[in-house]
Structure 1
């Protein structure tokens, strides 16, 4: 199973929820981080190096990830989950949406 890194803006709601769901429901190794300067857990190169798969919440964050870390993403699978910032941490609707999207991504990327 891959090491999955979840990335969002501030690492407060979506990415920590996704990391928890993926570890619990799919038994994969996870980590999470944010791209913003004031993120609770700021994304670092060590996390990118560790990750086999990087799952970003929004398309604009994929562009930001590429601007900030583009040279370090070679050989990394980066995918967008398309999950808007409309949810609270561990909100049941967010948990269900993440589980559904992860099921598709992990089946596809295996």
Structure 2
């Protein structure tokens, strides 16, 4: 399964998610950001590639819908409601990500 994690700048939340979930068998994981200054900026290629897209906040879902509206039908887009309060690989962020993502993906944590 191809999983894309999206946040604003692709520096803390989505990059942490990519790092922790890329080790799971059966998951091909990437991450991107919605802002101009993102480390890796989301493209139509990312959206087309992904089976499931996890956005950290509602604004990320909105930005994707504005930019890639024609590509999103049929895609599973899930908002995790994780605020921009965490640094890269923050222990609390890792626990939240594992808990919320495991509700949607069949993985053994």
What is the TM-score when the length of structure 1 is the normalising length? Answer: 0.90
CA apart distance, 1:75: 1.4
Summarize the alignment of residues 37-48 of structure 1 with structure 2, pairs less than 5 Å apart.
37-48=36-47
Q: Check whether the contact 1:22–1:102 (CA below 8 A) recurs between aligned residues.
A: no
Q: How many residue pairs get matched?
A: 105
CA apart distance, 1:106: 1.0
The residue aligned with 2:14 is 15
CA deviations on 1:69-109 (whole Å, 9 max, x unpaired) are 111112111010111000000011111110111111214xx
Q: Which runs of 4+ in 1 moved over 3 A?
A: none
List alignment gaps of at least 5 residues for structure 2: none
- Residue 86 (str. 1) matches residue 85 (str. 2): yes
List alignment gaps of at least 5 residues for structure 1: none
What is the TM-score when the length of structure 2 is the normalising length? Answer: 0.91
State the distance in 2 between where 1:15 and 1:101 align: 13
Superposition CA RMSD, Å? 1.0
SS in 2 for 1:104: coil
Which has more helix, going by share of residues? 1
